């Protein structure tokens, strides 16, 4: 029956106490409860009849996970995780207890910070000074204007800005990965030369943020950096049955893409 379905927010250690006012998705926001499964418990609620990926529900899902992760680790589920009934959740959680416990230990005292890097679009003059090829194309277009020439120049400028931004990111990544316990590259984002997430000990999160700000200020003519977080540690939860890596062991080497 549809009424028996449950919405799953995440997995925590058994014995956790939920905030008394904990609410989840839906309008009105659904009361949240714990569904025990041995050494673990799933954080669940009823499923709203009109569940959609609306901003209010996306934010309610994330805000609850952030509250849960303030004092103890939580293994986050992506928005929209719905099970047919409570027994399905209990059996699934119990069957993967060892792996879930390992992930929770890995996430203890850590948070996710996401870094996006984009080319500094306002610094074309700096690119022209540094790139002889762009200067040559610009001179040709000024002498002999044409549509094709303008297209080639535009492409060269875009590629040059992206290249300078990617080079700048390569310079800062070693310092940032040294402060983090793990780093993974996320899906490509249009306009970005990097979309990466860091698993950062909460004790050094402000130092991490300061390092990003320092580098961004020093290299503003090449790259713009946007740091988002703290976030639920979505990027460091194994997918498709993969085994979790222990704390400190990278699950992926950093990579930078550019045009």
pLDDT digits (tens, 9 = 90+) for 120-130: 866 666 655 66
Predicted local confidence at residue 143, as pLDDT: 65
Q: Is the pLDDT of residue 168 over 70?
A: yes
User: In the structure encoding, which two tokens stand for residue 198, read together?
Assistant: 């860091």
Predicted local confidence at residue 198, as pLDDT: 97
Does some domain include residue 173? yes
Report pLDDT digits (tens) over 2-40. 448 899 999 999 988 888 888 999 888 889 999 999 999
The reply to whether 97 and 191 lie within a common domain is no
Using an 8 Å Cβ cutoff, are 8 and 44 in contact? yes
Does some domain include residue 178? yes
Does some domain include residue 219? yes
The reply to whether 95 and 114 lie within a common domain is no
Q: If you search the block for the tokens 């498709």, which residue do you land on?
A: 240
Distance CA 245, CA 238 (A): 9
The reply to whether 95 and 6 lie within a common domain is yes
Residue 159: band (very low, low, confident or very high) from pLDDT cuts 50, 70, 90: confident
Distance CA 162, CA 187 (A): 17
pTM of the model: 0.77
Mean pLDDT, range 52-78, rounded to an integer: 90
Report pLDDT digits (tens) over 175-201. 999 999 999 999 989 889 999 999 999
The reply to whether 26 and 95 lie within a common domain is yes
The reply to whether 171 and 103 lie within a common domain is no
More confident residue, 187 or 251: 187
The reply to whether 15 and 114 lie within a common domain is no
Does some domain include residue 253? no
Using an 8 Å Cβ cutoff, are 183 and 250 in contact? yes
Does some domain include residue 213? yes
The reply to whether 85 and 115 lie within a common domain is no
Q: Label residues 106-131 b or e (16+ Cβ within 10 Å = b).
A: bbeebbbbbbbbbbbeebeebbeeeb
The reply to whether 97 and 10 lie within a common domain is yes
Report pLDDT digits (tens) over 128-143. 566 666 666 666 656 6
- Least confident range of 54-58, 98-102, 234-238, 248-252: 248-252
Which residue segment(s) compose the domain that 72 sits in?
2-107
Does some domain include residue 131? no
Distance CA 110, CA 202 (A): 5
Distance CA 242, CA 240 (A): 6
The reply to whether 53 and 116 lie within a common domain is no
Residue 203: band (very low, low, confident or very high) from pLDDT cuts 50, 70, 90: very high
User: In the structure encoding, which two tokens stand for residue 91, read together?
Assistant: 């059996």
Does some domain include residue 201? yes
The reply to whether 116 and 65 lie within a common domain is no
Q: If you average pLDDT over every residue of the chain, what do you get?
A: 82
Distance CA 76, CA 58 (A): 13
Does some domain include residue 251? no
- Rounded to 5, what percent of the chain is helix, strand, coil? 40, 20, 35
The reply to whether 114 and 62 lie within a common domain is no
Using an 8 Å Cβ cutoff, are 73 and 107 in contact? yes
How many structural domains compose the chain? 2
Predicted local confidence at residue 142, as pLDDT: 67
Predicted local confidence at residue 169, as pLDDT: 92
Distance CA 254, CA 185 (A): 6
């Amino acid at each position: 029956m549809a009424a028996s379905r449950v919405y799953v927010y995440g997995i925590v250690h058994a014995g956790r106490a939920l905030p008394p006012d904990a609410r989840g998705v839906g309008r009105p926001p659904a009361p949240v409860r714990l569904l025990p499964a041995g050494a673990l418990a799933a954080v669940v609620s009823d499923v709203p009849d009109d569940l959609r990926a609306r901003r209010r529900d996306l934010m309610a899902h994330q805000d609850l996970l952030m509250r849960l992760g303030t004092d103890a680790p939580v293994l986050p589920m992506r928005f929209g995780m719905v099970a047919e009934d409570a027994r399905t959740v209990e059996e699934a959680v119990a069957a993967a207890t060892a792996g879930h416990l390992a992930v929770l230990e890995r996430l203890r005292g850590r948070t996710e910070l996401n870094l996006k890097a984009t080319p500094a679009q306002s610094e074309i003059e700096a690119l022209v000074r540094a790139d002889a090829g762009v200067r040559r194309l610009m001179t040709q277009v000024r002498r002999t204007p044409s549509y094709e020439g303008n297209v080639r120049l535009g492409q060269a400028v875009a590629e040059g800005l992206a290249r300078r931004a990617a080079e700048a990111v390569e310079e800062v990544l070693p310092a940032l990965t040294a402060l983090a316990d793990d780093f993974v590259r996320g899906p490509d984002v249009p306009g970005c030369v990097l979309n990466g997430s860091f698993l950062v000990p909460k004790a050094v999160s402000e130092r991490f943020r300061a390092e990003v700000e320092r580098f961004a200020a020093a290299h503003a003519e090449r790259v713009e950096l946007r740091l988002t977080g703290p976030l639920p540690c979505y990027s460091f939860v194994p997918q498709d049955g993969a085994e979790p890596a222990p704390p400190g062991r990278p699950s992926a080497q950093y990579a930078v893409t550019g045009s």
